[in-house]
Structure 1
Amino acid sequence: MYFWISIFISTLSGIIAISQFFVLFAYDQRNKNFPRMETKRFVLRQIELTDAEEVFYYFSQYEVMKYYDLDVLKDVSEARRIIKNWQTKYHKNEGLRWGIATKEDNKIIGSCGFHNWEKEHFKAEIGFEVTPEYWRSGVMTEVLQPILTYGFEKMELHRIEALYDPDNMASKKTLEKAGFIYEGTLRESAFEKGQFCDASICSLLKKEFAK
């Protein structure tokens, strides 16, 4: 009897594993090409190695990197590594990072996308940055809407989280404007640049976004 139970459990596990594979395979097939979207002023597209100079430009500025867990970039080769990492995560079906390109000249002025994608829990974390020249011009308010829509509808997310430095008031206001709800502060939850740091966490649920 135990022998047949063991076979049944093994078979059931195999069926579950196969079904999960086909779910991921179907997602990959639907998203073979990186999803390109447009807003009134911007094109949201995949960031290529040819965009390294633009990515390096804003990641080499202290104002942008102040709340990042990375140091200010010193060389364009570091930007290329970041781009390759984003591309790898996309090809491994672990996340997406859109480049925010101006319609006038197709130059990348920032990025936004999903990481820490936990498919079994239908949730992911969102992050973004914009070059200082475009601060206070409504860039993120404009591009967050189609990206959040993609997350909830195409990626079938139930919950989207965002973590930010408690002192980063700009990110806080941007997320609140997009409908995110503050949940609390994770005390000394990360070790960045040689010290333990707090992180504020907020989230947006699909049912809240649909309202």
Structure 2
Amino acid sequence: MENEFPVIETKRLILREATKADAGDMLDYLTDIEVVKHMGLEPFQTVDEVWEEIGWYQSIRKEGTGIRWGITMKDNGKVIGSCGFLNRAPKHFRAEVGYELNQAHWGKGIAGEALEAVVRYGYHHFQLERIEALIEPANIPSQRLVEKQGFKREGLLRHYEYTCGKFDDLLMYSLIKKDLKII
């Protein structure tokens, strides 16, 4: 792991480290039930909860099990979502990808642009062979997003997680390095 947090730039976005200074921007979307309902989280209530989330981002990077970028628009630098890896298993050359985006930016191709950049980073810098996405069956927009990126649906993981007082089924999607058209 590098000491300096890697910054990824795309046509419209800068993906960078989320810090405590971004907590207010992040609270805007993490309080939105529509944003968090498929994340296994209750809507956030306080800035302290956002600080805990940022602390989790820092801990997975320090442990080498993941990395999470704050998604910002180039024009204003405001964090409007996040995207990154978790449950990274270097021994097996795989990681899970996750993301969320402020509802005000849905339907503009931003999540796809961020996801594509993060996937490329994973293949180049972590030498990943397999990237997984675990998605609730009701989250059709997320399924469409990963399918557009080339992910293949592998099956249903029944009662895979216990979140918000219930067991959740999750669809397993994967993208194998050779599936990518351009790396």
**2:51 alignment counterpart:** 80
**2:139 alignment counterpart:** 168
| Distance of 1:89 and 1:42 partners within structure 2 | 23
1:56 to 17, 23, 27: 27
**2:121 alignment counterpart:** 150
| Distance of 1:58 and 1:80 partners within structure 2 | 14
| Distance of 1:166 and 1:102 partners within structure 2 | 29
Name the TM-score, length of structure 1 as normaliser: 0.84
- Structure 2 residue 175 is matched with structure 1 residue 204: yes
| Distance of 2:124 and 2:176 partners within structure 1 | 12
Q: What SS does the corresponding residue of 2:107 show, helix, strand or coil?
A: coil
How big is the shift at 1:92?
Answer: 2.2
- Structure 2 residue 16 is matched with structure 1 residue 45: yes
Q: What SS does the corresponding residue of 1:53 show, helix, strand or coil?
A: helix
Give the counterpart letter for 1:151 in structure 2. G
Q: Which has the higher contact order (CA 8 A, sep 6+)?
A: 2
Residues 161-185 of structure 1 deviation map (CA, whole Å, 9 limit, x = unaligned): 0001000001000000000000011
Counting aligned pairs with the same residue, the percent is 38
Q: What SS does the corresponding residue of 1:33 show, helix, strand or coil?
A: coil
Name the TM-score, length of structure 2 as normaliser: 0.96
**1:110 alignment counterpart:** 81
Give the counterpart letter for 2:157 in structure 1. L
Give the counterpart letter for 1:186 in structure 2. L
Give the counterpart letter for 2:91 in structure 1. E
Q: What SS does the corresponding residue of 1:117 show, helix, strand or coil?
A: strand
Residues 12-56 of structure 1 deviation map (CA, whole Å, 9 limit, x = unaligned): xxxxxxxxxxxxxxxx2xx22111011111101011110001111
| Distance of 1:190 and 1:95 partners within structure 2 | 19
| Distance of 1:95 and 1:210 partners within structure 2 | 24
Q: What SS does the corresponding residue of 2:170 show, helix, strand or coil?
A: strand
| Distance of 1:127 and 1:179 partners within structure 2 | 15
When Rg is computed on C-alpha atoms for both structures, the one with the higher figure is: 1
1:183 to 154, 163, 166: 154
Give the counterpart letter for 1:161 in structure 2. E
Higher helix content, 1 or 2:
1
Give the counterpart letter for 2:85 in structure 1. F
How big is the shift at 1:210?
Answer: 4.2
